[in-house]
Structures are given as C-alpha cells and as structure tokens.
Amino acid sequence: MFKSPRKTPNAVENLAENWDVVVVGAGIAGCMTAGTIALKGKGNVSVLLMDRNPPTEAGKKTVLGWVCGDAVGEHHIKYIHEHIGTTYGKPEMENRVTAVYVYSPDMKVRVPFEGPGYVLDRPKFAKRLLDDALKAGVEFRGNVQATELIQENGTIVGLHGQTVGPGVNQPFEIRSKLIIDTSGMSTKLRRNLPIPSHIEKEINKDDVEPTARLNAKLRDGIEVEPFHCDIYLDAEKAPGGYLWLFPKSEDKVNIGLGIQQKRSPKPLSALLKDWLAADDRFKDIQPLSDDSNLTGSWQVSVRHQNDCLVANGYMICGDAAWFPNPISAGGIGPGLIGGIMAGEAAVRAIEANDFSEKQLWQYNLDFVNHYGNKTAGLEVFRMYLQTLNNDQINYGMRHFLSSDEATEISLGEMPHLSVGKKIVKLFRGLGSYKAFSGLVFTMGRMRALNELYQNYPKDPAQFDAWKANVDSILAQGRARFH
C-alpha cells in the first residue's frame, strides 16, 4: 500500500516496504534526526519519518497540544546553526530572553540560572522543523503508529505498525536497516526492545515528573517583563519540582509546574489551580486556544540520559532516551542537538553499511562529551534539592548560591564549597546538620560522577564495568535522599 520513490529494493521487497532509515516520532528530536540524515546523506539515503499524528500536528504530545514550557537556551540554537547551517527567527522564535532567573520561596533572592534563550511558538516551531526535514528530502507519513520492533538474529530489521484515525486500524510492516526511536516519553519500542543490548528499558517512577502548563493572555493592565524567564522554587506549591513563568510577550505567558508525585499531598491540577488563584497576576487570565495548543499535562524525565543510546539496528534520541536536564527538565535543546548527532551517526552507518551497536557507538560518545557528561551529577543534586524545605532553600539561596555558583550548577560543574567561612555560615544558618551533610555528600557524588563520564567507555565491551560504577554512586544518592 505504501509507495515511495525513495525506497531501496532488497530481498524482502515483495513483503514490505524497505528503507535505509525509519525515524519514529516527528517531535523535536525526530524532525531534527531525520532532517540531518537527509541533509548529510546528500540524497543517497532513504529516510521515512512517521508519526501517529497528521502533519499539521507533528510533535503534539497529547490531544491537548504541544505540552511544554517552550523555553530553549540560545547555545543550543547556535549549535544547530554551526552544524547544519539552519537559522531560526520569527514567527517560531516568539520571544528572546536574556536570562532565566531562579527565585527563592520567600521571593527575596533571585539568581540567574542559564544564559539567553527563546520562548518558542511551539506549533510554529514544530511546523518549521517538519518543513525543513521535508525540504531536505525526508518522506513524512502521518496517522501511523509504530507498535513493535522486528528483530532477526539479534538485530532490529523493521517494525510493525498500524494506521490510526477514525475507523482505520490497518496493520503494516516496514523493513529498515536502522530504526531511530524518537517517540518520546511514552515509547513502547524501547520498553519492549526485543534484542539484548545495553539500553535501559525502564525508568524509575521517582525520576519522572508530572508537569502541567497553560498558555494564557493576562488581563488588561497586567504585564510581565518579557526579557527573562522565571523559575520559582517552592517545596509547598510545587513539591519536588518548580513553578515557571515564561513570557511570550508582555501580556502573554506560558506558565506551569512540575512536581515529584510522592512528595505532593495534592494532584498536579489542584496545585496549578491553587497557584493561579494565589497569584494576582493570573486573575482573569484567558487561556490561549486559537492554535489547538490547550492547557494540559504530560510526563518529563528528570534523570540522566539513558547510558546507552544504541543497539544493533536501533537508536534512541530525545525524550525516548531521557534527554531532559535533571534540574530544569529542559529537553528541547538536548533533543535538537542529540538529533543532529544521531543523524550524523546514522549517515556514517549507511556509508559503512554497518548498523551494529559497535558502529553506532560514537553517538554515545558524541552526546556524552557534548552534553551528557554532567547529567548524572545533576541527578544527584536534584535528589538532594527535593529533600529541602522552604526555609532551607531560602537560606541556601541567600547565603550559598551566588550567581557564579548557580551557573556552575546549571552547567553540571562543582560549586566551590571549599571557602571555610561559607561552609560554617551555611552549617549554622540551615540549622540542620542533615541538610548540610546532604550537600557535602551531594558534592562528593557529583564530583565522582563527573569524573566517570570523562571516561565514558570507547568500546561496548567496556560498558558494563563502567556502568556498574555509575549505578553504584546513583544508588547511594537514592538511598540517602529517598
């Protein structure tokens, strides 16, 4: 039934379609991966990008929309320009901000957390990403859902799927030399990966945050400063997570919150309601719904990326690989740059006609060296933060977290705790030996993890021993901050 001028013939031609690469999920990561393959493959690679949504809704996480805070750091956008030459602008980059500020629960301290960035018009950004991929030569197919991977002799060689939409559930089979899974947090493909590999299949539920967001217009006369994004730490209003206000303009905002479920006495929707009712800026706000991007919630991972991103004939990228930052939950940037790296790895595999784990392994190294070397340390820092009450956060931010230290943490580096005075002050002020010793413990584990990731295994054969060390340190963090 599927006809494509770009398909590559092989022995199974009569049984099913056959592609060089199939990318499952046309969100941020999938569009960037597929587009990079087509671009760098220079017309010699057949690449199919499929999504369960129609093309107008590619990347939509749920029926309610592209549920996201839509903030992305400028450094990620620069990376894209440097690697594939793409430049973005209006209308998809809706608002440029110069900083992201983090506020203490008592609102007395604010520290800049990350540098400049953008608040995206997400539906328009999704369209731009898909348009770019199509222009580069990707074939897109909407309303089709991948249901399971096909393996032969320990290698992924294709997938089964079905068409979706009213009244049609037609099964199909597609063969491909390489399947790249960018189907997001809900991926069934990774969870049911039918071959032995180093990819972790399941995520611990404490490493997943339910997260809700609302795009809204403020009431007449109320404005916010449009040149910075705000993150509010508050262990009561957003237990184990944070609240955010990301401005689309002076009077249009993307607001929301993420929580760790086990620390919250209330459901997410009730906490969002409470916040809207308590903050005068949000009185009589009007949800923006003209672009079918409605109020909604979804899950985001707040752990380090999957330590292995490749298997024979199979790769993972984006939320399917737990790319979001463990502290900020920012997954757009790593999804975009990871998509470029995944695409480059796929092209190298095509050129070598080798789709083995070993051939694809360089993608692990590229991602870890550029981005992933800090995330396991940040995961321990996140576990620690989630145990603090508002007094402890207020004190810590007032006396401990200078702008430089906040930046260091956001980069996954070690804040300089060695200044004796500061430690004594912190120790006394927190009034809690537990919080202080927890911080010292965290710094030690972050240092050890950062060192381990400097030595990410260059060969799959060294992976298990290295991974055992990583897991053992993270287990110490989990045992301490449960």
Task: Rank residues 233 and 430 by Cβ distance to ligand FAD and give the closer one.
Answer: 233
Closest-by-Cβ residue to ligand FAD is 331
Give dist(CA 183, CA 174) in Å, integer. Answer: 17
Q: Count the site residues for ligand FAD by CB under 6 A.
A: 41
Strand partners, 49: 23, 140
State residue 399 phi and psi, 5-degree precision: -105, -20
Of residues 323 through 342, those in contact with ligand FAD by CB under 6 A are: 324, 329-333, 335
Bridge partners of 298, per DSSP, are: 211
Kindly state whether residue 200 participates in binding ligand FAD, applying the rule CB under 6 A. Answer: no
Beta strand residue intervals within 205-293, DSSP E: 208-217, 228-232, 242-247, 252-258, 286-287
Distance CA 316, CA 373 (A): 17
Least Cβ distance, residue 267 to ligand FAD (angstroms): 15
457 binds ligand FAD (CB under 6 A): no
Pick 64 or 423: Cβ nearer ligand FAD: 64
Q: Which is nearer to ligand FAD, 146 or 271 (CB)?
A: 146
24 lies in the binding site for ligand FAD (CB under 6 A):
yes
Rounded to 5 degrees, what are φ and ψ at 325?
-65, 130
Regarding 146 and contact with ligand FAD (CB under 6 A), the answer is yes
What is the pattern of x (binds ligand FAD, CB under 6 A) and - over residues 281-310?
-----------------x-x----------
**Beta strand pairing status for 144-152 and 155-163?**
antiparallel
The nearer residue to ligand FAD, 302 or 308, going by C-beta atoms, is 302
Tokens linked to 160: 């089964």
Phi, psi for residue 6 in degrees, rounded to 5: -95, 0
- Each residue 151-190 as x (binds ligand FAD by CB under 6 A) or -, in order, gives -------------------------------xxx-x----
Residue from 110, 127, 213, 252 touching ligand FAD (CB under 6 A): that is: 213
- Burial class of residue 427 in the structure, from the number of CB atoms within 10 Å of its CB (0-12 exposed, 13-18 middle, 19+ buried): middle
DSSP-derived secondary structure for 455-473: T--SSGGGHHHHHHHHHHH
Which residues between 65 and 94 bind ligand FAD (CB under 6 A)? 67-72
Is the preceding peptide bond at 116 cis, omega within 30 degrees of 0? Answer: no
Nearer to ligand FAD, 28 or 285 (CB): 28
Chain positions contacting ligand FAD, by CB under 6 A: 24-30, 50-53, 58-61, 67-72, 145-146, 182-184, 186, 211, 213, 256, 298, 300, 318-319, 324, 329-333, 335
